[in-house]
Amino acid sequence: MAKIKGSIVVNIDRCKGCEVCMVSCPTGTIAMAKEVNSRGYNYAYPAFPDLCIGCASCAIVCPDGVITVYKTKI
């Protein structure tokens, strides 16, 4: 069976660290960074990129359109 793999790109400066994507991620890929962005928010980042399935739940729920999602079959 083909496995679906995904990958996300987070625009750091646009992220406000609301954590809504982290809660919505079904595989626990996303975590909040310890570092802050230029506006002082802890931004979201793919802490476990191997777990990502490219479902785009994070991007769909993200208020600020921070996340771009890529998806492919392996």
Partner 1 sequence: MKEVTGIKEIIKPENLAYRKSNILTDEIMHYCPGCGHSTTHRILAELIEEEGLQQDAIGVSPVGCSVFLYNYIDIDWQEAAHGRAPAVATAIKRLLPDKFVFTYQGDGDLAAIGTAETIHACNRGENILIIFINNGIYGMTGGQMAPTTLPGMKSSTSPFGRDVRSMGNPIKMTDLVATLPGTYYVTRQSVHTPANVKKTKKALRKAIQYQKLNKGTCFVEVVSNCPSGWKMTPTKANAWMEENMFPFYPLGDMKTPVEVSDQQSKTGKND
Q: Which residues would be at the binding site for partner 1 (CB under 8 A)?
A: 5-14, 16-20, 23-24, 29, 33, 37-39, 41, 43, 45-46, 49-50, 52, 54, 56-57, 59-72
Q: Residue 59 phi/psi, 5° resolution? A: -70, -35
Angle at 25 between CA 19 and CA 31, to 5 degrees: 50
**Of 1 and 73, CB closest to partner 1:** 73
Least Å from the CB of residue 1 to partner 1: 18
Report CA-CA distances (Å) from 30 to 8, 33, 39. 9, 9, 20
**Of 1 and 38, CB closest to partner 1:** 38
